[in-house]
Amino acid sequence: MEFGSPQFWIALMQIIGINIVLSGDNAVVIALAARSLPPRQQKQAILWGSGAAVVMRIALTIVAVELLRLPYLKLIGAVLLLWIAVKLLIPEREGEGTGESVGSLASAVKTILIADLVMSLDNVIAVAAAAKGSLTLLIIGLAISIPLVIFGSTMLLKLMERWPVIITIGAALLGWVAGEMAITDPLITQWVEATAPYLHWVVPAAGVVLVVVLGKALAAQVLARAPALVELGERVPAPAAAKAPALARPGWFNRILLPVDASDNAARAVEYVIAHLRSHPAPETVDVHVLNVQRPVSGDVSTFVAKESLTDYHREKSLLALERPRKILDVAGAKYGVHMLVGRPWEAISDYAVAHQCDHIVMGTRGLGSYTGGALGSVALGVAARSQVPVVLVK
């Protein structure tokens, strides 16, 4: 592969894309491992731990590139890469947080290093496959993408939260790379070139279709099961609503579930509820439940992080998402209760409404995304399809 050729640039973009999509969990581990340290030590832990992990990842990837020159290994690697791609589309259940608490700079660096070693297998295989045996391409791709992942991890996570389709695109990319890897195995490459060169396009395309179809099917099975919910605690207890007088007609909302995040559309849903309260003949009888749901981290992350750290992490994110909606409600003088959960948002919201006997769910039609939790975009449609309680969608 010549430097600067179209094939070179395509492979380079694949390496960068793979690193971005597959490094989300690593970014979460880095943040959680360092969060309990003083600010100065947090920066040191991130730099030292990430630096050591980068050196280790580069060495492992170079070894993988050399191994993939052997017969059969590319076929085996392609199957493994297909499974990695499918897993990317399957939502994780909430882990228990089995890791140890981080109490020092050394323990934080150790946690980051070990976690990156264990969690980077998929990244190493995918990048080695995309490099197509070129160490030059591999080094350039890693040199560009690794600093982006380390220093831009927060931005990358927000982008994936805002546009969850990035995850699907990344999984499809891995399916394509897996197909390319399989078709170039030394065992069959000469036969393909001589008799069926069209397979260079057909097999990668089949990998994309297989990943997306199988991933979506398995994800649907997982989502059909009862959600694992973790109660983060009520920040504000729900006020005791007065008994509704006869003039409060059945058409009024009297027990409202208001799922929110920090988005503009969620704010408009809050304003909708406030307008309802102002026009209600007996607003003191209305029971408003403000709910934020955080998406569980993957099981890989929870293996290396203590349960207390995970709970604090989710609570901080939830409180941050609740700041804007609470401020709007407080300015309006509305009474409400605040609830924070960890689980799959569309299931958590619809199940909560039934469990607390809410008569309506009011939510924005678009939120910050559906990848990590308090997100009300595609989640709103999921709630509307699943809920046994009437849903009002506010644009």
Q: What is the domain-level CATH number for residue 279?
A: 3.40.50.620
Identify whether residues 248 and 320 lie together within a single domain: yes
Phi, psi angle pair for 291, to nearest 5°: -125, 135
Whether 320 is in a domain gets the answer: yes
Same-domain pairing of 200 and 81: yes
pLDDT in tens, 205-260: 998 999 889 887 877 776 555 444 556 654 445 555 545 444 445 567 889 999 99
3-state secondary structure of 134: coil
Question: 70-117, pLDDT tens digit by residue?
Answer: 888 888 888 888 887 787 777 655 444 445 555 566 666 666 666 666
> What whole-number percentage of the chain has pLDDT above 90?
16
Is position 1 within any domain? no
Last residue of a domain, one of 194, 223, 252: 223
Q: Assess whether 131 and 254 both reside in one domain.
A: no
Look over the chain and give the mean of its residue pLDDT values, rounded to a whole number.
75
Residues 238 and 148 in one domain: no
Backbone angles phi, psi at 292, to 5 degrees: -125, 135
* Confidence grade of residue 150 (pLDDT, cut at 50, 70, 90): low
- 10 Å Cβ neighbour count for 18? 24
Q: How far apart are CA 376 and CA 370, in angstroms?
A: 7
- Specify if 71 maps to a domain: yes
Cα gap 295→244, rounded to integer Å: 36
Quick one: pLDDT at residue 258? Answer: 95
pLDDT at 193: 86
- pLDDT at residue 358, as a whole number: 92
Tell me which of 186, 201, 223 is where a domain ends. 223
d(CA 12, CA 6): 10
- pLDDT at position 371 over 80: no
Pairing of strands 337-342, 230-236: antiparallel
Last residue of a domain, one of 165, 197, 223: 223
Number of structural domains found in the chain = 2
Per the domain annotation, does 346 fall within a domain? yes
* Interatomic CA distance for residues 154 and 32, integer angstroms: 12
| Per-residue pLDDT, 373 | 37
| Residue-range definition of the domain harbouring residue 132 | 6-223
* pLDDT higher at 262 or 43: 262
Q: Report CA-CA distances (Å) from 110 to 34, 52, 170, 330.
A: 11, 10, 29, 44
Q: Output 128 or 120, whichever has higher pLDDT.
A: 128
Instruction: Report the pLDDT value the prediction gives residue 245, as an integer from 0 to 100.
Output: 45
132's torsion region: left (phi>0), alpha (psi -120 to 50) or beta? left
32 has a pLDDT exceeding 80:
no
Residue 379 and residue 239 share a domain? yes
Residues 122 and 174 in one domain: yes
Using DSSP, state whether 393 is helix, strand or coil.
Answer: strand
DSSP string, 236-265: EPPPPPPPPPTTS-TTS-SEEEEE--SSHH
User: Is 285 or 163 the better-scoring residue by pLDDT?
Assistant: 285
| 389 shares a domain with 328 | yes
- Would you call 269 helix, strand, or coil by DSSP? helix
User: Percent of the chain having pLDDT more than 70?
Assistant: 65
Do 317 and 385 fall within a single domain? yes
Beta strands in the chain (DSSP E): 230-236, 255-259, 287-294, 337-342, 360-364, 391-394
What residues have CB less than 8 Å from 298, skipping those under 6 apart?
A: 25, 92, 95
Phi-psi label, residue 38: left if phi above 0, alpha if psi -120 to 50, beta otherwise: beta
For residue 341, count CB atoms less than 10 angstroms from its CB and return exposed for 0-12, middle for 13-18, buried for 19 or more: buried
pLDDT band at 55 (very low <50, low <70, confident <90, very high): confident
Q: What is the pLDDT of residues 165-174, one digit of tens each?
A: 777 887 888 8
337-368 per-position pLDDT tens digit: 999 998 878 888 999 999 999 999 999 886 44
Measured CA to CA in angstroms, residue 232 lies from 35, 97, 235, 308 at distances of 18, 14, 9, 11
